[in-house]
A and B are shown apart, each in its own frame.
Chain A
């Protein structure tokens, strides 16, 4: 194989790559935060909601988890355009990602909630706490602490999946790469560079989320043991 690798394009195009990486981080962060909140609400609906609400939440989760993100993105983006609503690509991408990540988050947190021993609920009830107080002070803190490694992995997967939003013309990192490739025709080199950037982003994101976890879970910070 005789191929002359040529990474010289980096000198001219690194601002585009940096901008693309920034968009990826922005997109992912917004989707993660909102998706986490919506996903938690869904999990609570699944576990504590009345029959219809619980079934609706379950149905939503099943549909989202058994269809590809790309199809969801196309359905929303092209669908909104066909309805005449001109939603900017970035917003459409965020909505799609939030819908997607909330479904996976809901499953993970539901598993966490169901793994809490029943005695915890009984004790909290017998201390005269209301349902909402039990949820926020006893159930959710324990559930989230138990499953946060799975949550972190899921969020990183979502950051990587945001790469497909280039297909609906969001100018994130993969979109920037495609643009540069069509000008320089150095496809192989470009995607190697972009792969490295994604790897770095994964590592940095994991670090950031683990730091948040350390700050939030004081017991774990002090004792170092799992719940």
Chain B
């Protein structure tokens, strides 16, 4: 089983501040990895390294067969294979839902208007928002906007999907619909890395849970590690969450 993402002793600093001190983790193809931890633990930074939003200063980072630690990585090509969904959705407000979704396939993959429209209808059906194709983002609820953001990334037919705290900005009653969508994607075999605060969701859906602390991987395991944390830091973290 090949790894679609592999961190080997990755280091990253912002100026003098070292945010990732020594991160090593592997994401096998078709699996779901959840990154959890306090703010400042480096989990979002680690995620953003995977699609090149952040650069690393040390170690090795392999993503979809590319070596990101070497200079000259073609980020545009990488980003056709790696999709990302942000906490603040970042939909383009001046375009309709359908236009948001078809923009990149048409411009970067050369799809015709009709082909792109077909793809849009497919992914909208996947996230359960077929009837909203001609709406503008501001007409949708937060949960709906986030699902459109997911559809927009899916339209690129990525091999790997990244989710950066995608439910943190939503009202509690809207998180459910987004989590359902993500779970469905996982069941279909999409490789994913999720940074999340939703512990029960991580427990249910993730194959591997990675607890980060002070810029390193502190403890890893599957869902059972919540019931029996090995390190005091994780015990504190889980204890506070209850």
Contact = CB atoms under 8 A, between A and B. Distances in A.
Tell me, yes or no, whether A and B come into direct contact in the complex with CB atoms closer than 8 A. yes
Contacts of A222: 136
A120 B79 contact: no
Given A128-B104, A128-B108, A223 B139 contact: yes
Contacts of B93: 142, 219, 227
A120 B94 CA distance: 11
Interface string B63-91: 00000000000011101100110101011
B53 A126 contact: yes
Given A145-B94, A217-B94, A223 B138 contact: yes
Secondary structure at chain A's binding surface: helix, strand, loop or mixed? helix
A173 B218 CA distance: 78
B133 interface: no
A128 B86 contact: no
Contacts of B104: 127-129
Contacts of B75: 125
B201 to A, nearest CB: 23
B107 A137 contact: yes
Contacts of B83: 126
Nearest to B139: A223
Given A219-B136, A222-B136, A126 B92 contact: no
A25 B95 CA distance: 34
Interface residues of B, number: 29
Contacts of A130: 76, 108
B94 A141 contact: yes
A115 interface: no
Contacts of A122: 53, 86, 90
Interface in A186-227: 217, 219, 222-223, 225, 227
A127 B94 contact: no
Nearest to A146: B94
B155 to A, nearest CB: 9
Contacts of B103: 127, 129, 137
A156 interface: no
A225 B139 CA distance: 11
B51 interface: yes
A117 B53 CA distance: 16
Interface string A34-53: 00000000000000000000
A216 to B, nearest CB: 10
A119 B153 CA distance: 15
Nearest to B95: A219
Contacts of B51: 126
Contact of B138 (A124, A126, A133, A225): A225
B35 to A, nearest CB: 18
Which of B91, B103, B139, B156 has the most chain A CB atoms inside 10 A of its CB? Answer: B103
Nearest to B96: A219
Interface in B90-118: 90-96, 103-104, 107-108
Interface of A: 117, 119-120, 122-130, 133, 137-138, 141-142, 145, 217, 219, 222-223, 225, 227
Which 6 pairs between the two chains have the least Cβ-Cβ distance? Answer: A123-B90, A127-B104, A119-B90, A128-B79, A128-B108, A128-B80
15 contacts: A119-B90, A123-B86, A123-B92, A125-B53, A126-B83, A127-B79, A128-B79, A137-B103, A142-B92, A219-B93, A219-B96, A222-B136, A223-B136, A225-B138, A227-B94
Given A138-B92, A142-B92, 17 more contacts: A117-B90, A119-B86, A122-B86, A125-B79, A128-B76, A128-B77, A128-B108, A129-B76, A129-B107, A130-B108, A133-B108, A137-B103, A219-B93, A219-B136, A222-B136, A223-B139, A227-B93
